[in-house]
Structure 1
Amino acid sequence: MRIRDLASTGALALAALLAASGCGIGGAGDDTPALQGEVTGEADGEITFQTWNLKADYDDYFTALIAAFEEEHPGAAVRWLDQPAEGYAEKLSVDAAAGELPDVVNVAPDLVHPLAEAGLVLDLDRARPGAAGAYLPDAWAGFTMPGGSGTYAYPWYLNTGPIFYNRALFERAGLDPDAPPATYDELFEQAVAMAEATDGEVAMLGQTPGIVDLGLYGSEPMNPEGTEFTFNDAAAVELVGHYKDMYDAGALVPEALTQDYTGSGEQFMSGAIAWAPGSAYDLANFRTNAPTLYENVGITGVLTNTGQAHMYLQGLAVSARTAEPATAAAFAEFVTDAANQEAFAREVQIFPSTAGSLDDPYFTEDDGTDESRVRVAAAEQLATATSYTPVRFSDQMQNILRNEIALAMLGDKTPQEALDAAVEESNALLGTD
């Protein structure tokens, strides 16, 4: 799936459905016991492989990939399924509850978490000991369960991105387009200056901070045990306070109180805001759909107080009740090996999760184009990036956080009160209160 900073919808519903159903999983049916221990044997069985909204654009790539695996493993057969982006989590819920989850399935960290808790996907640390060494450590860690042991999906493709800014809007506000903010303090200062210089007609930002923003600023979103959220700490309160100051100055558009990343991106493309996070694939979108913006777009690094950018992550999980565990594990490892991930990264502007792949000249050498500049910068960030989104942080919790921060922006609550309320409600959904 195209990676954005959006929580996967339905993760909480998936967890609830699995808990209620107690059903088995996988092509083998409900009577097949969950696998325990190491998976060995020949990869010569028939399996199903499900992706997330990839067939329309990458049919040729996956068809060739499957053919190569089947040629390398005589007797193996892979049936490819692809589900649309809309309703993917709900489809996963239904399949899991019915015992029909595909043998190898595309998941994000928040979607694999309830499957892992229900014992429906393989613990790869037990099933394939030693597999972790092939991947970036933080990518592998993205599919481990907080407060527990085990890793439940192979890291697949990654993304991160720079900050895009509108040079023309910076010039209009009297700001130097060659010196965009490099620190949070500079962002806060320039955002207010832009609003004041344009009498509120130009806003720097299009959304209030989400869980990733809090993490980048230095907040610890969740305790190490994974039992409660902690994003009401001093760093989070400080950041929300700065956003309140910017909101009061007109540096955030009014829609910032309700919209998500997608809405903010659309406003950036329309010229309503001057600053927006992005990813490597956005430049092509700007060129096609916002040519005026494309002519004026500036590119700068992600702001972070931790020294680590945020990593968006997709993976492949293996059913714990597949009838063909050796074939399923071998295929998941084949899809996510260095050669195939690097080839996929040349098909679409994403990045491989395999150790050493980001050292390839494709990811390190700038050929003078904006696309390569963004690609090289993003690859450099990914070498040390981490995920700031706890796997237990659901779409419902994101909405709670957004609503509470909106109350802080409006002055109905202090930043501390708003974050305390968001943490309390989110923890209640975990069942920890």
Structure 2
Amino acid sequence: MRISRRAAAATAVLVTSALALTACGASGSSGGSDASGEVTGKVEGQVTFQTWNLKANFKDYFEGVIADFEKKYPGAKVKWIDQPAEGYPQKLSADAAGGTLPDVVNVSPDLAYPLAKAGLALDLEKAAGKYRGEYLDGAWKSQQMPGMKGVYAFPWYLNTGPMFYNKDLFKQAGLDPEKPPKTYDQLFENAISMAEKSDRKIAMLASTPSIEDFGRYGVRLMNDQGTEFTFNELKGVELLQHFKDLYEAGALDSQALTAQAESAGRKFQQQSVAMNPGSALDLDKFKKEAPSLYKNVGITDNVNNTGKANMYVQGLMVNAQSKVKPAAVAFAHFVTDKDNQMSFAKKVTIFPSTKGSLDDPYFTKEDGTDATRVRVASAKSLKNAVNYTPVLLSDQMKTVLRNAVAKAVQGKQSPKDALDGAVAECNRLLKTN
């Protein structure tokens, strides 16, 4: 199940479609709001609940959650709709345009943004702020939108990826295999040392920096209003200069400029690269296909200068025009409460966004299996993680950044000129969407 699902191609359509509906209001809705904006009223009526490609594998789980909710609130019923992954953003666009948006909708932050901007996503900071304390602070804040006050979805399931490293290659380079780099300065120093000791045969990394790396390095990615990208500031240029230096020293694999995640993984498996992100599935693969690597694999957090790992997050948005708001808010909260999130996390490799859940022995104690090794490492890093990827960064913008990084690393442009150009183009794209 994918966690980070970009939907930039549909963002403009969503905004355009949804804006036409902002004046419609929520006339005829049951319940109301008190002076603070909190939704009040009886939990009753039929709630339409839309998920994103989950029915095939989790039908029994969701039917159980719905049955429990209807038992708790006899006056409420839930109609579950599951949409395929392909075309999901376009389906949201059609619903927004036709006024048929479900009461509770599974969204990632990038999909929630245009709906929130158009007034179609309920501000849960006002409508259900009493529940804020139940969720991890970073998860709750991940549902904030650029340039807007409020929170526009209940945090649901989370994910992150640990970093694998080859202890034997660290040892050969004279580095402590029990102390992998934690900060970027440590990473750069270790990477240069490894390249020198191996006569440029072993690189530390096989990928260039993504927007997440800029975030973890401490770069300001956007202005506070969410109207302009800012990753070309001094700190961003500094990071890119470091990667250029790594490339020139042989500490960044020569294929990093064109490599996909899969090819970077192969480099790690072939033991020509010392560090690479991965998952429990990768560990199982190493065990079968590369036993000499498997016995030397260490697991650590991705390096960062902020002390906070990156998280991928899904949420449940409540339709601001729902005619059954009290029931919709109650159901969205029910699905994302501690018990139901914990139950879901034991059925699939995801992590709950609720406070205290990650302290459960399921996430803290290893049992010798690969799945547990990765789960424990990931859960530890998620407690104070944040979502570094701006919700307004489209796939097209990611390509712009990736191309600029490649030019700078190869020396075709200075890091400053490359990032200045990337920011200018991304801001142009931002204004046209």
Is this a same-fold pair by TM over 0.5?
A: yes
SS at match of 2:39: coil
Tell me the alpha carbon deviations over residues 282-321 of structure 1, each in whole angstroms, 9 at most, x when there is no partner.
1134315762254442112331111111122111101122
Return the alpha-carbon distance in structure 2 between the equivalents of residues 286 and 20 of structure 1: 45
Q: Given the superposition, is the C-alpha separation of residues 363 and 53 from structure 1 closer, same or farther in structure 2, using an over 3 Å criterion?
A: same
Query: Match for 1:350: what amino acid?
Result: I
Equivalence for 2:257: 257
The answer as to 2:400 corresponding to 1:400 is yes
Query: Match for 2:67: what amino acid?
Result: A
Conservation of the 8 A alpha-carbon contact between 2:50 and 2:106: yes
Tell me the alpha carbon deviations over residues 12-44 of structure 1, each in whole angstroms, 9 at most, x when there is no partner.
53234432564449xxxx796597744323333
Return the alpha-carbon distance in structure 2 between the equivalents of residues 266 and 332 of structure 1: 41
Equivalence for 1:413: 413
Cα distance, 1:251 vs. partner? Answer: 2.8
The answer as to 2:334 corresponding to 1:334 is yes
Structure 1 unmatched ranges of 5 or more:
none
Q: Given the superposition, is the C-alpha separation of residues 90 and 269 from structure 1 closer, same or farther in structure 2, using an over 3 Å criterion?
A: farther
**Identity across aligned pairs (percent)?**
55
Conservation of the 8 A alpha-carbon contact between 2:182 and 2:304: no
Conservation of the 8 A alpha-carbon contact between 1:50 and 1:105: yes
Query: Match for 2:281: what amino acid?
Result: A
The answer as to 2:8 corresponding to 1:11 is yes
Equivalence for 1:351: 351
Conservation of the 8 A alpha-carbon contact between 1:14 and 1:90: no
Query: Match for 2:10: what amino acid?
Result: A
Return the alpha-carbon distance in structure 2 between the equivalents of residues 256 and 91 of structure 1: 36
Equivalence for 1:241: 241
Tell me the alpha carbon deviations over residues 183-222 of structure 1, each in whole angstroms, 9 at most, x when there is no partner.
3233223323444455554432222111110111111111
Q: Given the superposition, is the C-alpha separation of residues 290 and 59 from structure 1 closer, same or farther in structure 2, using an over 3 Å criterion?
A: farther
Equivalence for 1:93: 93
Equivalence for 1:115: 115
Cα distance, 1:128 vs. partner? Answer: 2.1
Return the alpha-carbon distance in structure 2 between the equivalents of residues 69 and 197 of structure 1: 61
Q: Given the superposition, is the C-alpha separation of residues 411 and 24 from structure 1 closer, same or farther in structure 2, using an over 3 Å criterion?
A: same
Return the alpha-carbon distance in structure 2 between the equivalents of residues 262 and 328 of structure 1: 41
Structure 2 unmatched ranges of 5 or more:
none
Conservation of the 8 A alpha-carbon contact between 2:38 and 2:126: yes
Q: Given the superposition, is the C-alpha separation of residues 267 and 20 from structure 1 closer, same or farther in structure 2, using an over 3 Å criterion?
A: farther
Q: Given the superposition, is the C-alpha separation of residues 265 and 328 from structure 1 closer, same or farther in structure 2, using an over 3 Å criterion?
A: farther
The answer as to 2:379 corresponding to 1:379 is yes
Tell me the alpha carbon deviations over residues 75-115 of structure 1, each in whole angstroms, 9 at most, x when there is no partner.
43323233333443333333323333222111111111111
Q: Given the superposition, is the C-alpha separation of residues 34 and 258 from structure 1 closer, same or farther in structure 2, using an over 3 Å criterion?
A: farther
Q: Given the superposition, is the C-alpha separation of residues 190 and 15 from structure 1 closer, same or farther in structure 2, using an over 3 Å criterion?
A: same
Return the alpha-carbon distance in structure 2 between the equivalents of residues 163 and 53 of structure 1: 28
Equivalence for 1:287: 284
Tell me the alpha carbon deviations over residues 245-286 of structure 1, each in whole angstroms, 9 at most, x when there is no partner.
1112333334422455565446545655331224xxx11343
**What is the TM-score normalised by the length of structure 1?**
0.87
Return the alpha-carbon distance in structure 1 between the equivalents of residues 327 and 265 of structure 2: 41
Return the alpha-carbon distance in structure 2 between the equivalents of residues 17 and 387 of structure 1: 22
Q: Given the superposition, is the C-alpha separation of residues 317 and 199 from structure 1 closer, same or farther in structure 2, using an over 3 Å criterion?
A: same
* Aligned ranges 1:18-97 → 2 under 5 Å: 18-19=15-16, 22-24=19-21, 33=27, 37-97=37-97
Return the alpha-carbon distance in structure 1 between the equivalents of residues 86 and 176 of structure 2: 41
Query: Match for 1:286: what amino acid?
Result: L
Q: Given the superposition, is the C-alpha separation of residues 425 and 360 from structure 1 closer, same or farther in structure 2, using an over 3 Å criterion?
A: same
How many residues end up aligned between the 2 structures? 422
Cα distance, 1:238 vs. partner? Answer: 1.3
Q: Given the superposition, is the C-alpha separation of residues 176 and 15 from structure 1 closer, same or farther in structure 2, using an over 3 Å criterion?
A: same
Equivalence for 1:320: 320
Return the alpha-carbon distance in structure 2 between the equivalents of residues 152 and 118 of structure 1: 12
Conservation of the 8 A alpha-carbon contact between 2:144 and 2:151: yes
Tell me the alpha carbon deviations over residues 129-163 of structure 1, each in whole angstroms, 9 at most, x when there is no partner.
42222212221111112232111100011122321
SS at match of 2:228: coil
Query: Match for 1:208: what amino acid?
Result: T
Query: Match for 2:12: what amino acid?
Result: A
Return the alpha-carbon distance in structure 2 between the equivalents of residues 402 and 155 of structure 1: 29
Query: Match for 1:238: what amino acid?
Result: E
Deviates more, 1:118-127 or 1:41-50: 41-50
Return the alpha-carbon distance in structure 2 between the equivalents of residues 326 and 107 of structure 1: 20
Return the alpha-carbon distance in structure 2 between the equivalents of residues 74 and 265 of structure 1: 51
The answer as to 2:360 corresponding to 1:363 is no
